[in-house]
Amino acid sequence: MEIRNAITVLGVVAAASVVPLVTAAPAQAGQVDCVNYLSSKGYRIGSRVRSACDDVESLADRITCQTGLIGIGVRANHALEACVRA
């Protein structure tokens, strides 16, 4: 019985450690897509661009992303597309 409990605990621990990795990947890919899009349009990529492109998960986040990018000189249409990709 102890072996069965140990295996169950190991399974739960393994699942708990995999879930954050799986859920974090799309957000990271979104930031990369946002940054790569802006780079392809000729913008220099720095910490403010990365920060604006980071953690865009809701409509409010997208508006914050766009406002941040426009505030540092990104054209509005480029900011919109970049933030959609984020």
Please tell me the predicted confidence (pLDDT) of residue 56.
Answer: 95
With contact defined as beta carbons under 8 Å apart, do 39 and 30 qualify? no
Total-model pTM: 0.67
Angle at 25 between CA 41 and CA 83, to 5 degrees: 35
- Give which of 64, 81, 72, 85 is closest to 43, Cα–Cα: 72
Angle at 40 between CA 34 and CA 46, to 5 degrees: 60
Q: For each of the chain's 86 residues, which pLDDT tens digit applies?
A: 566 544 554 454 444 444 444 444 455 679 999 999 999 999 999 999 999 999 999 999 999 999 999 999 999 999 999 999 99
Tell me the residue type at 27: A
Please tell me the predicted confidence (pLDDT) of residue 13.
Answer: 43
| Backbone torsion region of residue 54, taken as left when φ is above 0, otherwise alpha when ψ lies between -120 and 50, otherwise beta | beta
